[in-house]
Every structure is written in structure tokens, then in C-alpha cells.
Amino acid sequence: MAQLDDFKGLEANAAALPGSATLPAELAALYLCITPAQLAELRKSKRPEGRAGHSPSVIRPVEGGAAGPKDPVLYNLGALRDFAKAHAAPSAFDTAASAGMLGWVSAKLPFFAELEPRIKRGKRVIIGGAWDRTDPLREARFVDLAKGRIRFASLTCSEAAASLWADVASHSALAEKGLALLRSETQAIEASLAATAQLAATSNSNATT
């Protein structure tokens, strides 16, 4: 079975990562954009054996992946891919963005980030969104994360947009969504101010007639 150390020499390409590769439970949950507690629930049987009715698919860890209670529970990358495809849902970012400015400034999302050298302490250098399933480098970054080459940071979209990024294009793509929300909020406020001014003018006109 391919372990994370077997990826030396592979290009940073999701297609190059074998489905037999394994991720520990914490990273498997991050990969699926759920919490470790939710992943633990998915390991449990959802209905008694032989009972009729439909139930959600259960994702199972690697057989024999944990030799004892203190050993990490491992998941095949292929199984994670299949589960994600079968349970497609809006990304955590989409959910946050749909909430408008409230979601932009309050919902915490996982972002890949560079390891911070001592001289960069206090500076976040973002690589990409761990929730972004369209990123062709996403799976390779999970391997880098498991190997300790990068880290992940839990940030709001607002915090991420105000951070440093490894490349301009990715930063711009996220920042533009935030700027669009700000423009929408600004336009709504300006429209309300104009409506208030019109209401006041109408009231004054009625009072003088």
C-alpha cells in the first residue's frame, strides 16, 4: 500500500497521486471539508444489519490501518475521492460567500500556507484554499501537508484576502470576490441613503402644502 513517503520524485500533479495513498484522519476530514468528528461518525454503521431503508454511504478507513488504539486511522485517497464525488456539495467557500459580508468576515475556512521561517514570523503566506476542489494541485498539497512541507491556517476570507499570497493570480481571484461583496454592500447603502433623502424631501413638500 502506498504511504506518503512513497511520493518522492512525483510531480506536483493530482493525477500522479495513486488512489492507494493514505491520509490520516485529520487530513482526510480536511480533504472532505468536514470536521474530524463528522468523519468519525461516517465510520460508524448507520443502520442495523438487515434493516430496510436508505442510509448515507459510510466511508471506511484502511483495513488494518490502525494496529492499536493509539495508531492513526488511515484513509485511502481513492476512497476519499470517490466519497467526495458521490457527495458533491457547495464548498465551504461557496457557503460562506452566499452569506454575504457576514460569511466573508466570520466563517473560518482552511487555507494552505507556507511554513513560516523565523524572519517571516507573524506573516501569513497563503498558497491556496484547502476547500477548493477545482485546484489541480490540491491533492499534491495534502501530501505536502502530511509531510510537514506546508501547513494549513484557519482563516476567514477577509483575513485571507488581507494576507500575503504565494502568487498574484490566486490572491486576486479571492480578493475580487471580496471586493465584489463590498461594492454590492456599498451600492445597497447608497441606494438606501438616496431613498431616505427622497422620503425626507417628499415629507417636507407635504408639510409645506
Averaged pLDDT for residues 124-143: 88
Q: Are residues 119 and 162 in the same domain?
A: yes
Which of 26, 60, 89 is the C-terminal boundary of a domain? Answer: 89
pLDDT tens across 97-118, in order? 788 888 899 989 999 999 877 6
**Dihedral pair phi/psi, residue 133, rounded to 5°:** -70, -10
Do the Cβ atoms of 132 and 112 come closer than 8 Å? no
**Among 89, 110, 134, which residue terminates a domain?**
89
Does 161 lie in the same domain as 94?
Answer: yes
Residue 58: how many other CB atoms lie within 10 Å: 13
One domain for residues 46 and 133: no
Q: What is the tens place of the pLDDT at every residue in 164-184?
A: 999 999 999 999 999 999 999
Shared domain check, 183 and 155: yes
Q: What is the pLDDT of residue 73?
A: 81
100 neighbors 92 (Cβ within 8 angstroms): no
Whole-number pLDDT of residue 93: 80
pLDDT at residue 50 is higher than 70: no
Provide the mean pLDDT of the chain. 79
pLDDT at 58: 58
Structural domain containing residue 95: 90-209
Same domain, 99 and 201: yes
- Which residue pairs, CB below 8 angstroms and at least 24 apart, start in 134-140? 136/13, 136/14, 137/12, 137/13, 137/14, 138/14, 139/14, 139/17, 139/77, 140/10, 140/12, 140/13, 140/14, 140/16, 140/17
Quick check: helix, strand or coil at residue 183? helix
Q: How far apart are CA 81 and CA 64, in angstroms?
A: 20
How many other CB atoms sit within 10 Å of the CB of residue 180? 11
How many structural domains is the chain composed of? 2
Residues 74 and 114 in one domain: no
Q: Is the pTM of this model over 0.85?
A: no
Question: Are both 38 and 120 inside the same structural domain?
Answer: no
Same domain, 95 and 84: no
59, exposed or middle or buried, with CB in 10 Å at 0-12, 13-18, 19+?
A: buried
Tell me, yes or no, whether 34 and 48 share the same domain.
Answer: yes
Residues 96, 62: one domain?
no
User: So what's the pLDDT on residue 52?
Assistant: 43
Percentage above 70 pLDDT, the chain? 77
- What is the pLDDT confidence band of residue 156, given thresholds at 50, 70 and 90? very high
Last residue of a domain, which of 67, 89, 111? 89
Examine the domain organization and report whether 198 and 98 are in the same domain: yes
Is the same domain home to 199 and 143?
yes
Nearest to 75 by CA among 58, 87, 88, 91: 58
